[in-house]
Amino acid sequence: MAIELKMPALSPTMEEGTLAKWLKKEGDAIVAGDIIAEIETDKATMEFEAVDEGTLGKILVSEGTEGVKVGTVIATMAGEGEDAAAAAPAPAAAEPPAAAPTSAEPEAPQPAKAEGATARPASTAKAARDPEVPTGTAMKTVTVREALRDAMAEEMRADERVFVMGEEVAQYQGAYKVTQGLLDEFGPKRVIDTPITEYGFAGVGTGAAMGGLKPIVEFMTFNFAMQAIDHIINSAAKTNYMSGGQMRCPIVFRGPNAAASRVGAQHSQNYGPWYASVPGLIVIAPYDAADCKGLLKAAIRSEDPVVFLENELVYGRSFDVPDTDDWVLPIGKARIVREGRDVTIVAYSIAVGMALQAAEELAGEGIEAEVIDLRTLRPLDREAILESLAKTNRLIIAEEGWPTCSIASEVMAICMEEGFDNLDAPVLRVTDEDVPLPYAANLEKAALIDAPRIVAAAKKVCYR
């Protein structure tokens, strides 16, 4: 029986990759441990190692092919005593499987569909253009990962005081490849690999900011920043106030936040509400690449301490980013990412993608949803929320995080306190379940927010 070699999943979030190079030819004898091919994920180039012995039969995906879905049969191998030539599979097997085995991922829409860049046949609503982008600006398509890197590189070129420190940011090129290339351009003085010592290096970064530099401290994930939260809050956030405005702390703490994929409870938490509750901090949680770039640049330029929450699942998604030298966005301003008149969906970070997907579905049922991306969690853009509520009279919040004491709770409070007269229905929150995030694929899926849940809540407040 021929052995099928399939495109392997090489990281928790990998959905597809590039078959960079075949290192064996058809007919080559293979022993376990041989490197058969090189596969490029969005983070790294990985070696694909044989686990069985035999002869390489037919190569089904030629080298250089991009976007090969995980699970696709890329070659066949004949076992001992089998005819390698006969090991070609039935033609159907060459087709990529319909479903990637990463079904536990949150139902994140593919960017092309979600962004409103393509036609929305069922919808009369238009995707809202960012008013910050001047008309006629040329756009280029980049991933969120690249946008973040570009933001750092541009600001480092502009200001000698800016430097990056964190675990694996330099030689390894970033645990999630966000700092890729920075060491080559700026050298080890400005791109500093730290030991695994979050409390310590968060303190060192904060002290360096007090001493007049502008550090960008990368946490490999914000889950690890809990070890360092004392410096973020007690040292960075409060010092300007405690010193009567004498001592500034211009620092950016950044890294992936919230649930990734199948990494369990300790690696899957949204800290947005935690940091957003602290006076003295700026908290930014953008969704698309343009916002990531424009807001990270603004964060680096700010004289205040900023917590910048990224999302690992979004790093590899591509979006249009204005192709200008100086794309900087204002902190504290939400954006209407889709206009609508029937119901407002407030979201931030990865939930914006889900909200857009939900809005698309709702449009098919005749409900025009307005989607607001908060972008900044502190200071919160209350006016944007209330203005939209005044227009639609119904509001729900979509948040990939726990419901209790959440950003959703805060938005609900704002609607009650300042928008009560405009409400035609109770405000609802659509969030993750109130449980530690489980590992099992089905349980994880059940615990996380998704577009269907947003659709159901929107219909409920529309009494449909």
Is residue 231 annotated as a catalytic residue, yes or no? no
Taking CB under 8 A as the binding criterion, the range among 127-135, 140-148, 324-332, 350-358 that sits at the site for another protein is 324-332
**What are the residues whose beta carbons fall under 8 Å from the beta carbon of 352, sequence distance 6 or more?**
287, 288, 337, 371, 373, 398
CA distance 167 to 74: 35
Taking CB under 8 A as the binding criterion, the range among 179-187, 212-220, 345-353, 364-372 that sits at the site for another protein is 212-220
Q: Single out the residue of 124, 135, 189, 325 in contact with another protein (rule: CB under 8 A).
A: 189
418 sits near another protein (criterion: CB under 8 A): no
89 sits near another protein (criterion: CB under 8 A): no
CA distance 426 to 414: 13
CA distance 423 to 439: 39
Taking CB under 8 A as the binding criterion, the range among 33-41, 42-50, 206-214, 252-260 that sits at the site for another protein is 206-214
337 three-class SS: strand
| Total residues binding another protein (CB under 8 A) | 47
Q: Is the dihedral of CA 444, 263, 406, 412 positive or negative?
A: negative
Angle subtended at Cα 457 by Cα 452 and Cα 461, rounded to the nearest 5 degrees: 150
Which one, 141 or 243, has the nearer CB to another protein? 243
Residue 347, amino acid = A
Catalytic entry in 15, 154, 167, 198: 198
Which one, 203 or 353, has the nearer CB to another protein? 203
252-256/214-218 β-pairing: parallel
What are the helix (H) ranges across 52-186? 111-114, 144-158, 182-186
Q: Single out the residue of 45, 243, 266, 324 in contact with another protein (rule: CB under 8 A).
A: 243
CA dihedral 225, 230, 236, 240 (to 10 degrees): 160
Binding mask 142-181 for another protein (x = CB under 8 A): ---------------------x------------------
Token pair, residue 72, equals 């696709």
195 sits near another protein (criterion: CB under 8 A): yes
Q: CB of residue 199 vs another protein: minimum separation in angstroms?
A: 5
Catalytic entry in 16, 231, 267, 400: 267
Binding mask 342-371 for another protein (x = CB under 8 A): ------------------------------
Token pair, residue 219, equals 């946490």
CA distance 183 to 177: 12
Q: CB of residue 278 vs another protein: minimum separation in angstroms?
A: 10
Which DSSP symbol is given to 265?
A: G
239 sits near another protein (criterion: CB under 8 A): yes
Residues that bind another protein (CB under 8 A): 163, 189, 194-195, 197, 199-213, 215, 230-231, 234-235, 239-248, 250, 279-280, 282, 302-304, 330-332, 376, 379
Which residues does the annotation mark as catalytic?
198, 267
